[in-house]
Structure 1
Amino acid sequence: MPDDRADLHGEYKVVGGKLVIADLAVREGRLAQVRVSGDFFLEPDEALDDILAALEGLPADASVERLAAAIRAGLRPEAALVGFSPEAIAIAVRRALGAANTWRDHEWRIIEEIPVTPPVQMALDEVLAREVGAGRRPPTLRFWGWERPAIIIGNFQSLSNEVDLQEAERLGVEVVRRATGGGAMFVEPGTAITYSLYAPAALVADMSLADSYAFLDQWVLSALRELGIDAEYKPLNDIASSKGKIGGAAQKRFAGGTVLHHVTMAYDMDGEKMARVLRIGREKISDKGIVSAAKRVDPVRSQTGLPREEVIARLTASFVALHGGAPGEITPEEMAAAETLAGEKYARSTWLNRIP
């Protein structure tokens, strides 16, 4: 039976760029009646005809790479695309075909912070991500509650290279290893804002890993700007402002089809204690936002003047305004599974010391 469809519509907002819209039909399994529009800039005008001609008649199951390559090959040499790219057009086409979707295609749940131990925090990320992948939980935004001081090292970091274990033990700072890559974090209750997104892989379908970081951080950049912070994304995984680094993101793709994307931002950290428990080289001091080891690392508090709870409430409101969402909770079964996983994996020395 021929694959015939009509009135298909897809949109893609380029991170830091323009909106691209694709409207099209499918006739006998191929693209037809393709129209591309948006608030982008394109010179000369005739280059739009090149794009449409390149797409017309391509297989409806063509990948982003194939669609973008056809557009690029069909463009006249003098064509200038500003605020978008052939890949952005291809993603909009794929979204029109239903091969990728948007935030609003999902019914998000938002979980307020619950203080639990660091190993349970690590385990909750894995449990909730797998629950979303299995279809037992809708896509979720969860804010973390820190129950005690902790250092969280990245999945691939050397424990001895990153942490002064004797000093951490003396100061009562627990050390755990997370499932995602990236660098070490130091947190204490009330000093950081950490959240996780458990998103369907379809939300970032056809995006490169680098593009998916920027895409999934876009909402929080918008929220921080509303709070008066001139926040910006710095590849690959940093959130910063003109006054320095605010926080960093990390990500993991699960086989079940879930993307775990979590971010920690410094609200009001003890820079002197951070420098004592983390083995931070001189070249990384400025990257951690520490001008002097005696100073606090407080980009969110100092730039907003708001209590931490108010900042989280404003971030939540911004997410709901942009993408929708309703209050959610961790089920007793999920918490039990996380506690079990913490005992079997994240609290064990074999996991922590797997890269000594």
Structure 2
Amino acid sequence: MHGEYKVPGGKLVVVDLELVDAKIANFRLAGDFFLEPDEALENINAAVNGLPADSDAASIAAAVRAGLPENATLLGFSPEAVAVAIRRSLSKATSWKDYDWEIVHSPAVSPRMHLALDEVLAAEVGEGHRKPTLRIWEWNESAVVIGSFQSLKNEVDPDGAAKYGYDVVRRISGGGAMMMEKGAVITYSLYVPAELVQGMSFADSYAFLDEWVLEALKSLGIDASYKPLNDITSPTGKIGGAAQKRLGSGAVLHHVTMSYDMDGEVMAQVLRIGREKLSDKGIASAAKRVDPLRSQTGLSRAEIIERMKQTFTTMYAATPGDITPEEYAKAESLVEEKFATEAWLTRVP
């Protein structure tokens, strides 16, 4: 069995192993990481050999750590990264290069249509009717998109939303409320087969699926990094956040909103950002929580999106695609049946 795991912001970890009597045998670790002393590689191999095939990632990482000599130095990887690669090999996980990727950058639709397209396109990938896809959202309306499990009245000030022209909608993924001001955010969705993140924890998969956008931001001069669980950040402030939903069809929906520009005062009037949340972030106001891409790059929103598309294409050999009429029709039906209904919006009052 073979498994690979690219550590977000780090190096590639590659494992090969066999199973003998439900135990790991002939384990071999490789990669472009740095490890001292040399013999520590054999220590890791020895520590893994003999482990039960159903060992969880925490148990594997503990065994690797216990097997390392006291003076061992690991750069670009960790015992946890080795464990993820092993779990991916045992679960027959795939890699980015196993798929033909498409990039969809279609015209703006309504906020509810965006959310319906997320569900439809993810299901199409899971059912094998669509290639794995990166979709860039365009906005011609402003909206507040609340998480699947958030309380509507606790998250949104209806008077503030109405005053500034924000529609309020609910998505199928968890996480927090996002203010989508038209022309002021960059939003994208990834629709991927579940096998791509097989063997990873939710936390690992978030960073794994956004590695490419960190590379794009770094190429623009931003010192971007991932802050668990789901934040893309930089030394000057948070840039954006991710959310995820695993569908029964065998697909993963992963979407991210990054702030290109923002009005912190409007944000504070539209969203009910509680004192506890701000205190947890160690800051005094909502306006200081997010540092937009415009101020960090001096580039237009379109230029940043173009660099993102170029980076994804270079890394994963993606080709341009589009949404089919049939997919649009399914999404329109889903808007009527679900996303435009009061029952869905107020499922958590």
TM (normalized to structure 1)?
Answer: 0.86
Give the drift of 1:216.
1.1
Measured in 1, the distance between the counterparts of 2:91 and 2:202 equals 21
Q: 1:75 aligns with which of 53, 67, 70?
A: 67
Aligned partner of residue 82 in structure 2, secondary structure? helix
Alignment of 1:165 onto 2:134: no
Matched residue, 1:17: 10
Contact 1:54/1:70, CA 8 A, preserved across alignment: no
Alignment of 1:46 onto 2:35: no
Aligned partner of residue 269 in structure 1, secondary structure? coil
Matched residue, 2:216: 223
- Fraction of identical pairs, as percent: 59
Q: Residues 256 and 138 (structure 1 numbering): CA distance in 2 closer, same or farther, change over 3 Å?
A: same
Give the drift of 1:71.
4.1
Matched residue, 1:354: 347
Structure 1 residues without counterparts, runs of 5 or longer: 1-7
Give the drift of 1:232.
1.3
Describe the superposition over 1:246-276 as per-residue Cα deviations: whole angstroms up to 9, x where unpaired: 1110111111211111000011123222222
Q: 1:182 aligns with which of 155, 175, 178?
A: 175
Matched residue, 1:240: 233
Select between 32-41 and 177-186 the one with higher mean Cα deviation.
Answer: 32-41
Residue pairs, 1:123-162, within 5 angstroms: 123-162=116-155
Give the drift of 1:318.
0.5
Give the drift of 1:81.
5.5
Alignment of 1:326 onto 2:319: yes
Give the drift of 1:49.
2.2
Q: Residues 338 and 50 (structure 1 numbering): CA distance in 2 closer, same or farther, change over 3 Å?
A: same
Amino acid at match of 2:179: F
Give the drift of 1:65.
3.6
Q: Residues 264 and 292 (structure 1 numbering): CA distance in 2 closer, same or farther, change over 3 Å?
A: closer
Aligned residues: 347
Aligned partner of residue 210 in structure 2, secondary structure? helix
Describe the superposition over 1:298-343 as per-residue Cα deviations: whole angstroms up to 9, x where unpaired: 6211111111111101001011111221111111111111111011
Contact 1:268/1:296, CA 8 A, preserved across alignment: no
Measured in 2, the distance between the counterparts of 1:38 and 1:338 equals 43
Give the drift of 1:115.
0.8
Matched residue, 1:307: 300
Over the residues paired in the alignment, what is the CA RMSD in angstroms? 3.0
Q: Residues 292 and 53 (structure 1 numbering): CA distance in 2 closer, same or farther, change over 3 Å?
A: closer
Q: Residues 118 and 66 (structure 1 numbering): CA distance in 2 closer, same or farther, change over 3 Å?
A: closer
Structure 2 residues without counterparts, runs of 5 or longer: none
Describe the superposition over 1:70-112 as per-residue Cα deviations: whole angstroms up to 9, x where unpaired: 8438715636352433442344345556711211111111100
Contact 2:268/2:286, CA 8 A, preserved across alignment: no
Q: Residues 29 and 122 (structure 1 numbering): CA distance in 2 closer, same or farther, change over 3 Å?
A: same
Amino acid at match of 2:158: L
**Which structure: larger Rg?**
1
Q: Residues 251 and 291 (structure 1 numbering): CA distance in 2 closer, same or farther, change over 3 Å?
A: same
